[in-house]
A and B are shown apart, each in its own frame.
Chain A
Amino acid sequence: MADDTHSLVAPYALDALDEQEERAFEQHLALCERCREDLAGLREAAAMLAYGAGRATPPPELKERILDQARAERANVVSIRRRRSWTIPLGAAAAVAACAAVVVGIWAATLQNSSDPLEKVLSQPGARLISMGRAGGVAVAPSGDAALAVALPQAPAGKTYEAWVIRSGRAARAGLFPGTAATSVVEIARPVPPGSVVAVTLERAGGVTQPTSKPLAQSKAT
C-alpha cells in the first residue's frame, strides 16, 4: 500500500489524480520524506511544461480584476491581524514565514482561547518561531517555554507521536500527542534551552524513553 501510494508522485506532479487519490497522496506526502524530495524535482519539470504552451496576452482588465479583489480581501485580513499583538519581528527569519501559514490558521481558530499553549509562548517578549520544515514549527520563548504547531495526521492505532528536546545529542521526552486532520498545537513538557532541537517521532502507544524512529519533524537549533 505504501509503495503504491509512492508511485502516485509523478501523476500528482502533473495534477493527474482524481480527488480521492490526491487526498490519499497528500496524507502520505506529509509522512514521506522521499516523496517530498521526488516531488520537488518533478514539480519543477512539470511547471516548465507551461512554457511549452507559449505565452498569450490576457486582456488588460484581468490584471485590474485580480488586484481589486486582492485589495478587498486584504482589508479583512489586516483587521484580524491587528486584533493580536504579533511580537515576532516579521522580517527577521525565513522560518517565520515557513510556519506562518500553520500558525495564522491556529491563531484565527484560537482567537477566543487565551489558554492556547502557542499563544502563551508567543505572547512572551522575545519569543521566536522556528521552522520544522513542511510539517510546521515550534515557538520558543527565552524562558524556555515552548509549543509545537505541526500538521501530522492522526497516528495509526497503537501508535502515538512523541515530542523530544534534543541537546548535545541527548533526547529528552517532551510529551505525547495523537495527531489530527487539522494542526496539532502541543505544549512542550520541558524547558527548551538555547541551542537545542525539537523533534517529533512516531512511537508505540504510551511513548518510549528514547526515540526509536527517524523524526517526522525536526526544528533547526533554537
Chain B
Amino acid sequence: MEPYSNSSSEEFELDPVFLNSRREACVIFGVWFLCMIWAVPVSYMMGYGREIVPGNVPTVFGMPTWIFWGIVCPWLVADVITTWLCFRFIKNDDLGVAPEELAQAGDAGNETATDESVAKEGV
C-alpha cells in the first residue's frame, strides 16, 4: 500500500476493503476455474461416447459413475471450499455508512461523512 499526498498535504493509502475484495475475487475466480476443469473434462471422459450395456450401468450410490466423480464429488468439494472461504478467508471488513443511514441516525450536514466513514478505524 503506497501512501500518497494530495495538494492539501493529506496522506492517503489504498483502501484495505478494495485490496481484500480484489484478493478474494481472484481466489474465487480460481475456484470457479478449478471446478470447471474438474467437472467438464471428467464428465466428458467418463460419460461421453461410452458403450452402454442396458441394465448394467456402473453406478456409485445409484447414480452413473461419471455423475458421481464428475459432478457430485466436485460439488461437495466446492461446498467445503465455499465454507472455508466464508468463515476463514473472506475478511470481515467494515463497509462504511451510507449518507441516508447517517441522516437516519440524526447526523446532519455530513457532506464529508462518506470519506470519514471509509477512513474509520478497522476499514
A binds B: no
- Contact surface of A with B, Cβ cutoff 8 Å: none
